[in-house]
């Protein structure tokens, strides 16, 4: 258990990348990018965890009760909103590509080359 969370985070990063490079559909590719991003949430929250401690909310427990790190939680919150916006922008590009070309297969779509 000591390092399982970190291994899971690394795995999510790599498996998301695998999805991206083998993708046959731009929207599928965007979703795989979201998987890569989820690796960072898992990593951040695992780093800030403390065994046996509670959530960093002192509404029903007195201040001073052992709590996990709230900083990584704040970072993860920011990260989630950022992820959603980037996904939406890429999606808009994909929708427009489809409108022009009628396909979303990256093998048939290219930016400039050579």
Partner 1 sequence: MSERGRLLLFVAGAAGFAALLLWGLAGLPAFGDYRGPYGDVINASAVAQRHLTNMASAINFDYRGFDTLGEEYILFTAVTGLALLLREIRSEIEEAPRDASPNRDASDRSDALRWFGLMLAGFTNLFGLYVVIHAHLTPGGGFQGGAILGTACLLVYLAIGYRAFRTVSPKVLMDFADATGAGGYALIGLGTLLAGGAFLQNMLPLGQTGDLLSAGTVPVINLVVGLEVSGGFILMFAEFLKETRKPSREKDA
Partner 2 sequence: MIALQAMAFLLVAAGGTAVALTRDPTRQVLVLALYGLLLSVLFVLLQAPDVALSELAVGSAALPLILLVALAKVRGREHE
Partner 3 sequence: MSINALPPLPVVLPLSVAALLIATAPRLPRRVIDLLAIATALAVAILCALLLVRSLDGPIVYWFGGWLPRDGIALGISFVIDPFGAGLALLASVLVVASLIFTWHYFDEVGVLFPVLTLTFLGAMAGFSLTGDLFNLFVFFELMSVAAFALTGYKIEEEEALMGAFNFGVTNSIGAFLVLTGIGLLYGRTGALNLAQMGRTLASAPADGLVIGALVLISTGFAVKAALVPFHFWLADAHAVAPTPVCVLFSGVMVELGLYAVLRVYWTVFAGVLAAHEDRLRPLLLAAGSLTVLVGGVMCFAQAHLKRLLAFSTISHMGVFLMGTACLTADGLAGTGLYVLAHGLVKGGLFLAAGILLNRFESVDENVLRGRGKLLPAVGVLFTLGALGLSGLPPFGTWTGKALIEDAAADLGFHGVSVILFLSSALTGGAVLRVCGAVFLGWGHKENEEGKTPKYQEKETKKKYTRTPLVMIVPVGVLFLLALLAGLWPTLKSETVRAAARFENPQGYADGVLEGSAETLLAVGPKQPPPSGFLSSVTATAGAVVLALTALFVRRLPQSLRRNAWRVGHPALAVLRTLHSGYVGDYVVWIIVGVAMLGGLCAWRFG
For partner 1, the closer CB: 35 or 69: 69
Rounded CA gap, 100 and 59, in Å? 54
Give the Cα separation of 51 and 70 in Å (integer).
14
Is 81 an interacting residue with respect to partner 1 (CB under 8 A)? Answer: yes
Q: Write the CB contacts of 79 (distance below 8 Å, at least 6 apart in sequence).
A: 37, 40, 41, 44
97 binds partner 1 (CB under 8 A): no
List residues near partner 1 by CB under 8 A.
1-7, 9-10, 13-14, 17-18, 21-22, 46-52, 55-59, 63-64, 67-74, 77-78, 80-82, 85-86, 88-89, 91-93, 95-96
């Amino acid at each position: 258990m000591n390092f399982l969370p970190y291994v899971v985070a690394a795995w999510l990063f790599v498996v998301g990348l695998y999805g991206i490079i083998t993708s046959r559909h731009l929207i599928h590719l965007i979703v795989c990018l979201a998987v890569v991003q989820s690796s960072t949430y898992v990593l951040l929250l695992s780093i800030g965890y403390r065994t046996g401690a509670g959530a960093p909310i002192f509404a029903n427990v007195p201040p001073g009760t052992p709590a996990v790190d709230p900083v990584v939680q704040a970072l993860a919150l920011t990260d989630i909103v950022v992820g959603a916006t980037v996904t939406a922008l890429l999606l808009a590009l994909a929708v427009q590509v489809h409108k022009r070309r009628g396909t979303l297969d990256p093998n048939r779509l290219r930016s400039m080359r050579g």
